Amino acid sequence: MPTAARHRHAAPVARKCPPHDPDEGPGFDTSGGADASVDMRVYAAMSKALLSGKLRPGTPLRERTLAQALDCTRGAIRKVLVRLGSEKKLILEHNRGAFVPNPSIEDMRSVYRARRIVEAGLIATLFNQPSPGQATALRTHVEAEERAHHEGRREDAIRLSGEFHLLLARMAGSDELLEYLQRLVSNTELYMALFDTAVEHDSCAPHEHAQIIDALAGNSLPRALAAAMKHLDEVEQRVLAGAAAERKVDLASLLARA
């Protein structure tokens, strides 16, 4: 694998951005000023590029190139890079720059393990609790996911898939839970973008989410838990399989060049 791809163990940057509600924008000043508008535009463009799956693990992101491509200052790019770094969507290395993450198999297993533990508690909390209005909101969200899948909008499909779980977390009424799950979901959204080649080819995630909604309204908590865990297990298996396949290709390319 190329040297640039080996950046998963970088030390975190010192500056951190506060957590934010995704419904309120990417955490920038939303007062309506010109700088805030540029920040939000650049953040949206870079987030979309990351979720497109076209940026491969370890790809360096140079400030000058990004500023030229997005018609903004390097200062605006730097601010967005810090934001994405705090969300674990990029690796930031002092004096080296920003890189698309290249997580190890164990890194990804660890994050999915954390999601299963957190979401098992979330499902147990919400079992037979969602109101008719909340159930309708969940089903409306799944319909939006299905449209994104059928129309081949990969970035939207990945984003909406993650937001389904955050919608469940909001229904639990815990800001601390939501903040923690946001961080985990942000990681796994990127894993899907990088390694899950099935995202744009099938609608398994919306179907699985619909099954979770049905199970929450059912009469068996074990069945609801099983539906939620089966969904996470299958997504993890696809991601890890894609990551293993990419690493084999990278090794073959490296040996061929040698």
Block mean pLDDT (10 aa), the chain, length 258: 44 38 44 74 92 88 94 94 90 92 94 97 96 96 94 90 96 96 93 79 76 93 95 94 76 52
- Residue 63 and residue 42 share a domain: yes
- Residue 226 and residue 115 share a domain: yes
What number of other Cβ atoms are within 10 A of residue 250's Cβ? 17
- Residue 247 and residue 123 share a domain: yes
In a domain, 258, yes or no: no
CATH of the domain at 122: 1.20.120.530
CATH of the domain at 64: 1.10.10.10
- Residue 89 and residue 121 share a domain: no
When divided into structural domains, the chain yields a total of: 2
pLDDT of the residue at 3: 44
- Residue 158 and residue 59 share a domain: no
pLDDT of the residue at 51: 87
pLDDT of the residue at 255: 53
In a domain, 171, yes or no: yes
For residues 101 and 56, what is the distance between their CA atoms, to the nearest angstrom?
A: 9
User: Is the pTM for the entire model greater than 0.85?
Assistant: no
pLDDT of the residue at 36: 78
pLDDT of the residue at 5: 43
For residues 163 and 244, what is the distance between their CA atoms, to the nearest angstrom?
A: 26
